Chain A
Amino acid sequence: MVTITLEEHGPPIVHILGGTLRRASTQPKLARTMERLNGRVALKSTTDPQAVTIAFAKGAVHVAHGADPAADVTISVDLNTMGRPGAPKPKVKGAARHLGFALGVSKVLDPPTPGGWAGAVDEFWAWADGRAGLPDQLRVVCTDEGGETLCGSPGTTSVEVHGPAWALLGVFTGGDHLGAAILEHRVQVVADFPALSRFVGVISQLLLGRT
């Protein structure tokens, strides 16, 4: 049994990592890993002040902002480019002394997505079903691996998202902000402004780990 608690009114990074951990906890193998983990890991951005400490205590997981200097393992990473092709590799301190813990942490912080980008879209659509702001139809087109997926049915609102697999995976697993992904050209969209803005709101809920 895994319980994940977040610092009240913590910054976005707390919610984003909380969401990642919750996603990991739904996968039985990773949930078992989380039940065994005992220790603290600090995750620090190399490019800005964002930092978080995750305390694992045999299934009880708490996420709070700030890097605990006494953490067993400290990971320094460019949070803005994490998961993208060519992103700098994270630097890990303390892994040699806490090898098992560091390995377990690396797994639960990067849970696999069954089905790749298309699986992430399906999972997102199931999660978002019934939420205000969801378009009647969502079409997602993968521009590098090929293929597309269609969710919902034709209606008054529709959104199309086009992009490479890694970018789609980021957006639909809550690892990337759709608004930023559009403005920084990681993905492209076809939608009217109201539908797009509302859809960004739904994706942001995913990003911020709202259950």
Chain B
Amino acid sequence: MVRIEGTTLDGPLVGKHVSPEKFAQCLPEGVCLADFVLAMDLAGTPQLGWWGEWRQAALGDMYLRPDLTTETPVPDVPGVVSYLGTFAAVDGTPIPVCPRSLLQRQQARLATLGYEAKTAFELEFFVVEESLREAHEQKFKGLTPLGGDAHKMAYLTQRSSQFLPILRSATERLEAMGIPWEAFNDEAAPGQFELNLAPADPVTTADRTVRAKRALRDAAYEHGHAVTFMARPFPIYGSGLHLHLSLWRDGSPAFAEGDLIRHWVAGSLATATGATSIYTPTINSFRRQVDFAAVPTTPTWGEENKGAAFRTITRSGALARVEHRIASADANPYLVLATVLAGGMAGLEEKLEPPAPVAHLPWGLPEGYARLPTSITAAAEALAADTRLRAALGDEFVDHWVESRKWEWLMFHSEGGDPDAAAVTDWELQRYFEWV
């Protein structure tokens, strides 16, 4: 059996399982899916109010074209292999809102500038005591973080017997799929953990990340628990998707060259406000964006400054890199990487210079300091107005994304979401817990 899958814009993996015979027949185009799968929200409601020219008028098909280089076995299911793919129209042209295609284009553009990127995500997530079935029955309300909800330290190894079986199952799955992982650790919030994958090129990084999310879900399921990548499912601390990125030229670390990392940071800063829409895509994402929670809330950068949106780490030339810290765990890894590359390349191409780095804490600042957008609509408007990201990502993608964020805002408010709720709402839990 063959599984072919790709992510929607919101992140869930969609696709088909086909017989080996059908798989052989469908190459190279791939399998057909109705194109509305890229224009429906996480509750399965068709998004109305706009129309992309890439869509067919009557719920027509598009192809999900497997990338044969992504073949892996499916752990625990002998005889099943999995491919990740890209969405294409029935005439073969790429779908302009396909997340993986968008990233492929940005990676190819970086190559034309003479650089390769090495990237790695830090994937944060929560594990709950309840099984997925129990979580469903409770409509994801009143769940208990693994180990209980009492406040605690970070990096604890003392209670590893609670989480080691799950994380070990997950890393075994990664190894079975040929995905190199580096580390995992207990994180600051109860039931919160972080998994680090090895650096790779951006497309491979995103491929591995979506598969790692599946491995974590499957491992938790096996052990009678559930995992969520919601940005902030519980009151204390949220989950991020920090990205470490270095540039390389001809096999040598290019950020050691001096000016390059400044231009990259400047481009990242110049596009940070608009990019926030993609880095923090959901209503729940913005619950994480609060001061003094190790989350950047300002468009700033600084050497070794984990409060800034962009943290440069240059203590070793060979390891010189930028940590992009805005994205939340609920963001689509392909779209985050495509946007990061687009912003950085704008800095390189325009030789942008960043403002002075911040050495102070970029939280609790008085009025007058710029802040990143604080709502899904403000972020969407900023992206709509960002000419650099529009030029790089394309009008069709940006317009579709912006409208989809406004749709998310409309659904939240018209389906019972409370804008003043201090804690995460039932609407957020039911919409996001399982699917982002």
B413 and A179 within 8 A (CB): no
How far, in angstroms, from A200 to B49 measured CA to CA in the complex? 5
Knowing A49-B421, A197-B50, A197-B51 are in contact, say whether A177-B414 is a contact too (CB < 8 A): yes
Can you give 26 A-B contacts (C-beta < 8 A)?
A9-B378, A11-B419, A12-B410, A13-B413, A48-B415, A49-B419, A65-B420, A66-B420, A133-B50, A177-B414, A179-B48, A179-B49, A192-B57, A193-B51, A193-B57, A197-B48, A197-B49, A197-B50, A197-B51, A198-B49, A198-B50, A200-B48, A200-B49, A201-B49, A204-B49, A204-B410
- In the docked arrangement, what's the CA distance between A191 and B259, Å? 56
**A142 interface residue, CB < 8 Å from B?**
no
Tell me if B59 counts as interface (CB < 8 A to partner A).
yes
- Report chain B residues within 8 Å CB of A198: 49-51
Chain B 192-231 per-residue mask, 1 if CB under 8 angstroms from chain A, else 0: 0000000000000000000000000000000000000000
Chain B residues proximal to chain A, CB less than 8 Å = 48-51, 55, 57-59, 375, 377-378, 403, 409-410, 413-421
| A residues apposed to B, CB below 8 Å | 9, 11-13, 48-50, 65-66, 133, 177-180, 192-194, 196-198, 200-201, 204
In the complex, which residues of chain A have a beta carbon less than 8 angstroms from the beta carbon of B59? 193
Give CA–CA (A180, B46) in the complex, Å. 11
Asked if A193 contacts B413 (CB within 8 A), the reply is: no
Give min CB distance, A54 to chain B, whole Å: 17
Question: Which of B55, B377, B378 meets A194, CB within 8 Å?
Answer: B55
Q: Which residue of B50, B55, B414, B416 is within 8 Å of A201 (Cβ)?
A: B50
Report yes or no: B58 in contact with A192, Cβ–Cβ below 8 A.
yes
Nearest CB on A from B412, distance (A): 8
Majority SS of interface residues in chain B? loop
A203 CA to B59 CA in the complex, in Å?
A: 22
A9 to B: closest C-beta gap in Å: 5
With contacts A9-B377, A9-B378, A13-B413 known, is A194 near B51, CB below 8 A? yes
- Specify the chain B residue showing the minimal Cβ separation from A200: B48
* Closest chain A residue to B377, Cβ basis: A9
Give the residue name and chain of the B residue nearest to A177 (CB): B414
The docked-state distance in angstroms from the alpha carbon of A197 to that of B39 is 11
Contact B416 A49 (CB under 8 A): yes
CA distance A198 to B417 in the complex (A): 26
- CB-CB under 8 A from A194, the residues of chain B are 51, 55, 57
- Supposing A9-B375, A65-B419, A192-B58 touch, asked if A50 and B413 sit within 8 A by C-beta, the answer is yes
Q: Which residues of B contact A48 (CB under 8 A)?
A: 415-416
Chain A residues with CB under 8 Å of B415's CB are: 48
